[in-house]
Amino acid sequence: MHLGLEGKVAIVTGSGQIVGKQMAMTLAEEGARVVINDQFPERVERTVAELSAKGYQALGITANVTDYKQVEAMVDRVVKELGRIDILVNNVGIAWGPQGPKSRGWFHDQDPADWADILDHNIVCTMNCSRAVLPHMIERHYGKIINISSVGTVASVVKTCVYQSGKGAVNQFTASLAGEVGRHGINVNAVVTGYTLGPRDALVEARRETHPEEYERRMAHKNRMMPVTPMGRMGTGEDYANAVAFLASDKASYITGHLLCVTGGFPQILEYSSGAIPGQGRD
In the CATH scheme, what architecture does the domain 9-196+235-264 have?
A: 3-Layer(aba) Sandwich (3.40)
Among residues 234, 253, 178, 208, which one has the least CA distance to residue 19? 234
Domain assignments of the chain as residue spans, ordered by start: 9-196+235-264, 198-234
Can you tell me whether residue 56 is helix, strand or coil? Answer: coil
Among residues 47, 60, 10, which one has the least CA distance to residue 30? 10
The question of whether 240 is a catalytic residue gets the answer no
For the chain, 283 residues long, give each residue's pLDDT as a single digit of tens.
Answer: 689 999 999 999 999 999 999 999 999 999 999 999 999 999 999 999 999 999 999 999 999 999 999 999 999 999 999 999 999 999 999 887 776 666 678 899 988 999 999 999 999 999 999 999 999 999 999 999 999 999 989 887 788 899 999 999 999 999 999 999 999 999 999 999 998 887 677 777 888 888 888 888 888 878 888 888 899 899 999 999 999 999 999 999 999 999 999 999 988 654 443 444 444 443 4
Report d(CA 190, CA 237) in Å as an integer: 15
Report d(CA 97, CA 114) in Å as an integer: 5
Considering 56, 68, 142, 163, which one is annotated as catalytic?
A: 163
Q: What's residue 283's pLDDT?
A: 44
Q: What's residue 145's pLDDT?
A: 99
AA letter at 239: D
Buried b (16+ CB within 10 A) or exposed e, 35-48: bbbbbeeebbebbb
Report d(CA 37, CA 48) in Å as an integer: 10
Q: What's residue 277's pLDDT?
A: 45
Helix (H) or strand (E) holding 129: helix 125-140
